Amino acid sequence: MSIVVLGTVALDTVRTPFGKRRHMLGGSAVHFAMSARIFTQVNLVAIIGSDFPQKYIDFLRQKGIVLTSLIKDSGRTFKWEGEYKGDLNTALTLNTELGVLSAFRPVISEEEKKIENIFLANVDPDIQRHLLEHMQAPKLVALDSMNYWIHHKCRSLLQLLKKVDIYVANDQEARSISGETNLIKAAQYLFSRGPRMILIKKGEHGVLFYSDKFIFALPAYPVLRVVDPTGAGDTFAGGFMGYLSRVKKINQVSLKKALAYGTVAASFNVEGFGVERTSRINLRDLDNRLRRFRKCVLF
């Protein structure tokens, strides 16, 4: 079954110890789509400006991404510039230009409104709620956010948590919104706000999954050289949601495998700038790495 992803399509400028890329294709919806497309059809809902390169639109179409609800406006495309130093765990934001994103209201086709799997990637929670209210029969809804919205629109975010099945956050965000330093306590708090599944990303330290049925943790896949971590969390979510969209039953077994697929997808992402690596992988690549990953975590 297909997926609707709402998020950003951006022009990213990134500097790491391995080089610099200027105005490369990025954004939460794009990174999500690069891994989710391996499992299912991805319908992308976002906005771009008149300065957005046609070559990137052609590239997304070539990858099978449905762009029916990609709006092109007369302003400037959302741009982010950041730098990674040291262990590359944290990005230093140098500049953010919202452009057309500041007035974005998603418009979705009638056919896409019927899609049952929805990922609300990192944008304003009011925009996320606007899209969700126009979906006809959602069955699996996952939500991502960031510290900016936690600090500036916490009430809107908490209201939205009541309407989703899965909340995806990194460890810093989970601690910030819950006020808890212990991640299990943070997950319990987030669970109490409405979602039946909590997924806490811990970067190079893996992922923690929490529900009232079970708790599960995985380490990150061991990568020899991390080039650019930008979008790794969204790539993880794409692998996770992409796999779940094609299973007949969501249970403990399928959730654990989805987490493993998300983990190995993210490991490809960090090996290159932007979508250099994830745009070239297929299911065979994921499965090969998944087999190696299984040998690392079995004991």
Q: What is the pLDDT of residues 151-165, one digit of tens each?
A: 888 999 999 999 999
What percentage of the chain exceeds 70 in pLDDT? 100
Query: Does the structure show a pLDDT above 90 at 18?
Result: yes
What percentage of the chain exceeds 90 in pLDDT? 89
pLDDT at 148: 83
pLDDT at 135: 96
Mean pLDDT of 51-76: 97
Tell which residue, 139, 197, 132, 204, has the closest CA to residue 169: 197
Q: CA 284, CA 288: separation in Å to the nearest integer?
A: 6
Residue 170 is encoded by which pair of tokens?
Answer: 């990194």
Band of residue 86 on the pLDDT scale cut at 50, 70, 90: confident
Q: Report the CATH number of the 3-297 domain.
A: 3.40.1190.20
Are 102 and 124 contacting, i.e. CB atoms less than 8 angstroms apart?
no
Mean pLDDT of 167-181: 94
Q: CA 167, CA 165: separation in Å to the nearest integer?
A: 7
Q: Which amino acid is at 114?
A: K
pLDDT digits (tens, 9 = 90+) for 125-150: 999 999 999 999 899 999 998 888 88
Tell which residue, 210, 156, 161, has the closest CA to residue 182: 210
Name 148's Cβ contacts closer than 8 Å, sequence gap at least 6. Answer: none
SS3 content of the chain, % helix, strand, coil (to 5): 40, 25, 35
pLDDT at 128: 96
Are 46 and 9 contacting, i.e. CB atoms less than 8 angstroms apart?
yes
Average pLDDT, the chain: 95
pLDDT at 151: 86
Q: Which amino acid is at 189?
A: Y
Q: CA 242, CA 36: separation in Å to the nearest integer?
A: 4
Residue 290 is encoded by which pair of tokens?
Answer: 């998944």
What does the domain layout of the chain look like in residue ranges? 3-297
pLDDT at 156: 94
Tell which residue, 223, 207, 195, has the closest CA to residue 177: 195
Tell which residue, 77, 70, 134, has the closest CA to residue 102: 77
CA-to-CA separations, 143 to 7, 71, 98, 223, 245, in angstroms, rounded? 11, 21, 21, 27, 15
pLDDT digits (tens, 9 = 90+) for 193-235: 999 999 999 988 899 999 999 999 999 999 999 999 999 999 9
CA-to-CA separations, 46 to 26, 39, 123, 148, in angstroms, rounded? 12, 21, 10, 19
Query: Does the structure show a pLDDT above 90 at 88?
Result: no
Give residue 187's Cα distance to chain centre.
Answer: 19
pLDDT digits (tens, 9 = 90+) for 251-270: 999 999 999 999 999 999 99
Tell which residue, 99, 94, 98, 100, has the closest CA to residue 81: 94
pLDDT at 147: 81
pLDDT at 208: 97
pLDDT at 124: 92
Mean pLDDT of 10-29: 96
Mean pLDDT of 230-248: 96
